[in-house]
Amino acid sequence: MVRIGYTMMTEQAGPRELVQHVVRAEEASFDFSVTSDHYFPWLAEQGHSPYAWSVLGAAAQATSRIPLMTYVTCPTMRYHPVVVAQKAATMQLLSDGRFRLGLGSGENLNEHVVGGGWPPVDVRHQMLEEAVEIIRALFEGGHVNHRGEHFDVESARLWDLPDQPPPIGIAVSGKRSCALAGRLADLVIATEPKPELLEAFDRGGGEGKPRVGQLPVCYDPDRDAAVERAHAQFRWFGNGWKVNSELPHPDSFASATQFVRPDDVAASIPCGSDPDDFVEAVRPYAEAGFTEVALVQVGGESQHAFLDWSERTLLPALRKAFG
């Protein structure tokens, strides 16, 4: 069985609209939801980037059933890990236990805003590992002091703790991050349906733990309009994580994708209104062993139409195909 989720894409809608969207996703019977945590959109055409944690707090109060999750938060530069721990504990309380904390080593696009340069990937992994250690220590209660290679913590304590701390997910893209996630995470997060990522996660200690993927889709009754919108707003998606994590600005993504054609995007993102196309796009995740897949509908203004169609057509088709 594959659980189907909905993505609150902060890069393409404002804060009030995002909350409205997840309320409708709950009504439409999506199994869970995830939220991006950006300072910049990927491309200027997307046009938004509100503070994800304020959106999450509002979403927790506006919904009652649908699980919430960051997909993902970087706990090393823009946010200190003690602040992430406090935010996550508060979200778990606000949501009555529906929150999962998705973490990753970050993207230059969002983390450069605080200065200090952009570390190489091996240092980013070291920082993430140390941050997870701090967050878990704070979740246990009591005062935490820490003198590490990358972070210092001075007598920190979380005064409002849930009975059960939020599960921690870690995003992976290669062998090192998979080994780290297998050792430290309660679940694994990926944006590509690569079986080798899950196999490496299992070898690192992740066997039996949930595995969450994400898939961009572009519903529209007019397939040509869907392809045009997907190209305008999501042509960066095919760059791969080694490129996407390094570029510093939406203008950089525009330059890096200037030769990407609409047909190139349509080859990797299902576009239009044929549910079979969307089912076949989810299938590689199911076959790779993902237990959950969060869909990202491209285009902020198209969310309500997508959610209506999902309730009526797409979700029944996906559940028939994958349980």
The residues annotated with a catalytic role in the active site are: 38, 107
Q: Are the C-beta atoms of residues 49 and 40 closer than 8 Å to each other?
A: yes
The H-assigned helical ranges of the chain are 15-27, 52-62, 81-94, 108-111, 121-139, 175-184, 195-201, 223-234, 241-244, 250-256, 262-268, 275-288, 303-309, 315-322
- In our burial notation (b when 16+ CB lie closer than 10 A, e otherwise), range 229-252 reads bbbebbbbbebebeebbbbbebeb
Judging by DSSP bridges, how do beta strands 144-147 and 152-156 pair with one another?
Answer: antiparallel
Angle between helices 81-94 and 121-139 (to 10 degrees): 50
Omega of the bond prior to 72 within 30 degrees of 0, cis?
yes
- Report how far apart, in Å, the C-alpha atoms of 144 and of each of 104, 127, 139, 159, 287 are: 22, 18, 10, 12, 42
Number of residues in the chain: 323
Q: Say how far apart CA 70 and CA 177 lie, in whole Å.
A: 18
Q: Say how far apart CA 158 and CA 227 lie, in whole Å.
A: 47
167: tokens are: 């599960």
Secondary structure of residue 88 in the 3-state scheme: helix
Residues facing residue 102 across a β-bridge: 169
* 103 burial level (CB within 10 Å; 0-12, 13-18, 19+): buried
